[in-house]
Structure 1
């Protein structure tokens, strides 16, 4: 295999783009979680507000964060990701 051959295959460009989208989603998820968990949860426990019996910081960081991420990942896969054949040379027969 010639060095640098994968640069000519357009599948690698698509895969790299989709990997960056995945990294962006992970970073967004971490910032969301960290911001709510430590932003709202760093105060005294007797000052917490509650949503559905859960501390608000936990609800927003874990419950709502999960729902937001499911929606974002679904949208990314549906609208940003492309179907790519695994076989070298195009579509399977």
Structure 2
């Protein structure tokens, strides 16, 4: 038997979901970094404000949080599966 035949199917699911989670973390970091350093690197006198917050902070932290929260809910709802943790006699 090769190694793939002995591997529990739940490991494939867990690895796929871990990669999706890493992708979401990377998207979050790129969003945050792009707005925080892209818009936040200009002099303070040139900042625009939204709800009393500098625009770079509002877009990187407030909008970024809402966007990533929505993405995580979407991904968990449509791409993650319930995996039983019980021991199984027969591998799938």
TM-score (norm. length: structure 2): 0.89
Sort the Cα spacing of 1:11 and 1:31 in 2 relative to 1 into closer, same or farther, 3 A.
same
RMSD: 1.7
Q: In the aligned structure 2, how far is the partner of 1:6 from the partner of 1:20?
A: 22
User: Tell me, which stretches of 5 or more residues in structure 1 are unaligned?
Assistant: none
Deviations 1:30-65 (A, max 9, x none): 000000000000000000001111000000000000
Counterpart residue number, 2:74: 75
Q: State the number of aligned residues.
A: 87
Higher relative contact order (CA 8 A, sep 6+): 2
**Aligned 8 A contact 1:6 1:12 in 2:** no
Match of 1:10 in 2: 9
Unpaired stretches in structure 2, ≥5 consecutive residues: none
CA distance in 2, matches of 1:55, 1:5: 52
The CA deviation at 1:88 is 1.5
Residue 7 to residue 60, structure 1, CA distance change in 2 (3 Å): farther
